[in-house]
A = this chain, B = another copy of it.
Amino acid sequence: MERELFGFEITHGDPSGARCGLLRTPHGVVETPNFIFCATKGTIKGLTMDQMRAAGAQMILSNTYHLHLQPGEEVVESIGGLHRMMDWKGPILTDSGGFQIFSLGHGATACEIKGKRGLMGNQSLIKIEESGALFRSHLDGSHRLLTPEKSIQIQRTLGADIILTLDECTPDHADRRYVELSTQRSHRWEQRSLDEFLKNDDGSQALYGIIQGSTYENLRRESCDFVSNRAFFGQAVGGSLGVNAEQMRQIIALVGQMKNSIRPTHLLGIGTVEAILHGVQCAMDTFDCVHPTRLARHGGALVFRDRGDGKFCLNLKNARFQRDRDPIDENCSCYACSRASRGYIHHLLKAKEQLGGQLLTIHNVAFMCRLMGKIRCAIRGKSFRALLSELLA
């Protein structure tokens, strides 16, 4: 039955290594490469799901850690499960819950990426045991144990289409020996996650294994082999990707070569234009990051031009936009660009009105969807390298 509801077909390859595919789930087909937007606590901050659909979003992600603590997976289930609760009819991915516990517990730079606010200065991780991770709830201080089995059970109750195994996300500063032992333990946890998953598999969900190994080539290779040799539907690339952009590129390129090439592959927590373009070249199929939506709430609009700072970004809080009647991007057909001027958004941001961040979120979601559409179009037309030159020139 699983094979009926889930599927992954690679439809186009490009000489660069990039590929297009169709990821089939019980809640619809996702064209890949694609971007998965973060609905951390069960909502894309400030947007209705109609606005997400109108902006072109195909898939979203929710965080098991946050939903387990509030409102709790049983509450989500009792109000209809994640899809119905959020009114999102498309595919959903949930993570294992480990990332938040570990990145915060270790105080790693990775905590910059997700879930930082409201958790700062709160070391959530108490202890890692063979059985799982003992942590402290940031909401009520209660002690909780997250085991591989428990993570799968929670994700089953939440009801996402694609779920992830529990792994340890090691910090950038961990030494080789620590990462080696951690990677081996993560593999044992992943095996237990898979066993738990298969015990009650009714075909309505698919499990991705996670490729760990931090910045160490041999550990990444071991992890690729481990995941590839087990009955996971897909795989996600997790763990430390190094301390700078160059190291990240090397690790992703390496994993791109060593991973199981016929399975859908998700690159966790990556969301800048440059990193996505590189990831696509390394045969990564999906990406997620809070970057586009968080940037919006801070006044940043993603654009293809005007990137003097190399960030594909306009800061609409800048005083130069005060009397600007133009839309964020005249070539964008999103709701914000059809209706609002840069000057109006500037005013809303200055006046601390929610609508400023909302309009920018709509635009940034639409931008990411347009970017991914351009990428797919270029791969299908065997012109991905030309797109790279155009965008990164």
Residues in A lying within 8 Å of B, measured CB to CB: 41-51, 70-71, 75, 78-80, 85-87, 322-325, 335, 339-341, 343-344, 346-348, 350-351, 353-355, 358-359
Contacts and interface: CB of A to CB of B under 8 A. Distances in A.
Given A75-B323, A75-B347, 12 more contacts: A41-B351, A42-B353, A46-B355, A47-B355, A70-B347, A71-B350, A75-B322, A75-B343, A79-B323, A85-B344, A85-B347, A86-B344
A7 to B, nearest CB: 29
A322 to B, nearest CB: 6
10 contacts: A45-B355, A48-B359, A50-B339, A71-B322, A71-B350, A71-B351, A75-B323, A78-B323, A79-B341, A79-B344
A258 B207 CA distance: 74
Contacts of A323: 75, 78-79
Determine which residue in A335, A344, A353 has the highest number of CB atoms from chain B within 10 A of its CB, and name it.
Answer: A344
A44 B87 CA distance: 24
A20 B70 CA distance: 48
B343 A48 contact: no
A349 to B, nearest CB: 11
Given A75-B347, A80-B341, A343-B78, A335 B50 contact: yes
A339 B48 contact: yes
Identify the 8 closest CB pairs spanning chains A and B, nearest first. A79-B343, A87-B339, A78-B323, A46-B354, A71-B347, A43-B355, A41-B351, A43-B353
Contacts of A353: 41-43, 45
Nearest to A71: B347
Contact of A79 (B41, B87, B325, B339): B325
A60 to B, nearest CB: 13
Nearest to A362: B48
Contact of A85 (B42, B47, B70, B343): B343
A48 B354 CA distance: 10
Nearest to A87: B339
Contacts of A78: 323, 325, 343
Determine which residue in A44, A51, A323 has the highest number of CB atoms from chain B within 10 A of its CB, and name it.
Answer: A323
Contacts of A347: 41-42, 70-71, 75, 79, 85
Contact of A339 (B44, B49, B358): B49
A142 B119 CA distance: 39
A341 B358 CA distance: 22
A233 B197 CA distance: 72
A273 B384 CA distance: 60
Contacts of A351: 41-42, 70-71
A49 B51 CA distance: 13
Contact of A325 (B49, B80, B325, B346): B80
Contacts of A335: 48, 50
A341 to B, nearest CB: 5
